[in-house]
Every structure is written in structure tokens, then in C-alpha cells.
Amino acid sequence: MWKEFRDFAVKGNILDLAIGVIIGGAFGKVTTSLVNDILMPPIGMIVGRVDFSNLYIPLNGQHYDSLAAAKVAGAPTLNIGLFVNNLLDFTIMAFAVFLVVRQVNALRKRWDRKEKAPSMKECPYCLTKVPVKATRCSACTSQLTSEVAAHA
């Protein structure tokens, strides 16, 4: 079992996963900063000088100067602004992942087309499989010309 695990780890599966998690975490921080620090302030200005990170509804009916003050008081709140920020954050990350997966799929299709090129052909005389570049059949020694290859 140890050898099997070592082979699994050495093949790169664990390393690939670790790299993906680390890059994903860093990408998440960058995306969160993009949403909170770059996108939401101008959107807040456009819709009437609203700070989305401070947009909330206290459920106990009392008024608080800020979300931080409501949290310090222990008041239950609906954090609408934080939800909008997280929703935008998720949308940007999902779109970025979509673009990466789309590109990988396109590359995979291109690689698959290259790999599916036939490497063998049939000799028209003895029906033995011979390499595509062969000019003579290895079984019956017949001359394989381009006309004969086109016939096959």
C-alpha cells in the first residue's frame, strides 16, 4: 500500500492538487480585493454614495451607525452589502474558471485531433497492418505506392 501511495504522489496528483489550492487561495484574495477595493466603490458612487460593505438591515429594530457597531452590540443583521460583494466575487471567479476550462478544453481537442492521425494502414494485397510511411509491406513485400495507398 505504501508503494501504491508513493506512486500516486510521485505522479504529480498531490502536487497538482496542492498547487491548485495555493493558487486558488491567492486568486480568491485578488478577486475579493478587486470586488471590494476597485469595483464596489465606483458602483456605490453611481447608485448614490452607498458603501455596500456597510449596507445592512438590523433585525432587532434598533438603529446602529455602522455594521461594525451592530456587530459589537451583538445585534442580528441581514448583511445585504456583504452578500452583494460576495456574489460579485463569486461571479468573477466563476467566469475566470470558465475561461480557463474553456481554453483547456480547446487545447485538449487540438491535441486529440493530432493524436488521432492514423499511424497504420492496410496492405491492399495481404491486408497486413503496416506503418503509414511504409513503402513496402513487411509481410508480402509488395510495393506500396501512393496510388495503391490511396486505393487502400
Given this model, what pLDDT does residue 152 score? Answer: 46
Residues 58 and 89: their CA atoms lie apart, in Å, by 24
Tally of CB atoms within 10 A around 88: 19
Burial of 71 (0-12, 13-18, 19+ CB in 10 A): middle
**Per-residue pLDDT tens over the stretch 19-70:** 788 888 888 888 888 888 888 888 888 888 777 778 899 999 899 988 899 9
Q: pTM for the full model?
A: 0.56
Across 115-142, average pLDDT: 85
Across 120-148, average pLDDT: 84
Given this model, what pLDDT does residue 104 score? Answer: 83
